[in-house]
Amino acid sequence: MNRYLLQILLAGALFISLFSCEDEGYLSSTDAQLQFSVDTITFDTIFTTIGSTTQRFTVRNPYDENVLISRIRLGGGDVSNFRLNVNGIVGNELYELEVPAKDSIFVFVEVTIDPTGQNLPMVVQDSIEFTTNTNFQTINLIAYGQDFKLVKGEVIGTTTWTAEKPYLVYDYAYVDSTSTLTIEPGTKIYFHKDAGMYVRGTLMAKGDFQNQIHFLADRLEPSYANIPDQWNGIVLYSGSHDNVMNYVTIKNANIGLQVGTIENEGFASLELGNSKIENMAYAGVFAMKSKIYAYNNVIANCGYYAAALLVGGEYEFYHTTIANYWGNYSSKIRSSASLVLSNVLIVEDSEGSKVSYNGDLVKATFANSIVYGNTENELELGNNEENVFNFLFDHCILQVPDSMNTSDKTHFKNVWKGPDYDPHFIDPYNNFNYQLDTLSAAKDIGAIEYARNFPFDLLNKIRTDDSGPDLGAYERIEKQDEN
């Protein structure tokens, strides 16, 4: 009898021991607190129905024992706009997830916002709930959404785009040869990856100082704010005439603005004023055998050329700031000049043979302007010695080697070069601010006859009331001058 009782007691002890060992595998204290790398996940403005980028945070176990999270769930459950992925496991409600001692797990979060039909940013909120040993902790989720008008692979007839809602372009928006697309002041056009605007007809994008027009990529998170090559850009085909772009911003594309196409007959024409073209993977303005009349523009930070004017054409640029300090986005060192003027373009055909396109450079005038950057030579001249090659820099600061001959007055008139004539932009590298600081050599040395044609700068400051107009798109007005 005693022998059987002993066996029963031993079996019971073994069972209790096994159970206790399993239970002791996890920290059981109800005071256990997980540690989070953030307390709130915020998604800046995204487009309704279009998913966000993925954000992540870590959940850390600070203890010397493993912790078992009983449940991780979205407060909104299956109807939440948010989506979870915890260490590779997808679901809006997950159970019994182990966090090893002194270790972490990753939580990934995405969001999609439903359209509301309103042209107002909307706020979507939720939370992620963590239950550990009856202890309850949360991470807040906030997303700001924007309704939009979708343009997906559309041929655009004569129409007007308004500022009522932003436009989101997927694939392309194509303006046919008999049509005019008018874009009202204040309109914002966003482009998805590899999308672009292609114009055979006419583009009339006339913003104003208070209501500017924006052509941007559709990723609005701060981390994408200055990343190039997010969309293709705008192309004005040869044969597209009388285009006007005033007070526009074009940013973060491959080629921001292509004017003219080599494969089409004729030329494209454009008036470009009071605009900023920045952060392009290849070129800001890429023109071929076309006509551009430009003033009060900033063309900045491009992987190859800020402006390339090729195969001839007719170009006038007044009070223009070309500033190329490319380098923050790529380990590749830029070796090309910011500004290229050429009456020839040599390309390879599909069979690898060299094909030369030539045209007369009837006019290429840069006046009261700045061409500057972070390489020794920011100006390249390409003359085939057969076609007309007519250019003029008048009252300009140029970043060129001292060895470059600028004595020919038919091409260089009142040109300043060398380290003593640094324009001293306020912050060209970090905040991309190309206004002049108080020590700028570009102050007050412009020709008044050009300034009278463009009396207000890009910030609507008068440039004809002080000692002289400044070079470039910005006029610096010192406080004593204001008084």
Question: pLDDT (tens digit, 9 = 90+) per residue, 399-437?
Answer: 999 899 999 999 999 999 988 999 999 999 989 999 999
Query: Does some domain include residue 3?
Result: no
Nearest partner of 463 among 475, 445, 447, judged by Cα: 475
Residues 314 and 177 in one domain: yes
Residues 134 and 176 in one domain: no
Mean pLDDT of 187-193: 95
Residues 128 and 239 in one domain: no
73 phi and psi angles, rounded to 5 deg: -150, 150
pLDDT at 4 over 80: no
Rounded CA separation 400/423 (Å): 13
pLDDT at 5: 44
Residues 355 and 405 in one domain: yes
Print burial letters for 94-122: b (CB count within 10 Å at least 16), e (below 16): beebebeeeebbebebbbbbeeeeeeeeb
Of the residues 98, 125, 145, the one at which a domain ends: 145
Q: Across the strands, what pairs with 143?
A: 43, 124
Of the pLDDT bands very low, low, confident and very high (cuts 50, 70, 90), residue 334 is confident
pLDDT at 480: 65
Domain of 58, in residue numbers: 35-145
Cβ proximity of 129 and 138 under 8 Å: yes
Of the residues 110, 145, 180, the one at which a domain ends: 145
Residues 434 and 324 in one domain: yes
Number of folded domains that form the chain: 2
Residues 402 and 441 in one domain: yes
Of the pLDDT bands very low, low, confident and very high (cuts 50, 70, 90), residue 1 is very low
State whether the Cα torsion 75-144-42-152 is positive or negative. positive
Residues 313 and 165 in one domain: yes
Q: Across the strands, what pairs with 250?
A: 215, 277
Residue type, 205: A
Of the residues 82, 111, 145, the one at which a domain ends: 145
Query: Does some domain include residue 22?
Result: no
pLDDT at 6 over 90: no
Residues 175 and 298 in one domain: yes
- CATH number of 78's domain: 2.60.40.10
Rounded CA separation 292/294 (Å): 6
Residues 106 and 241 in one domain: no
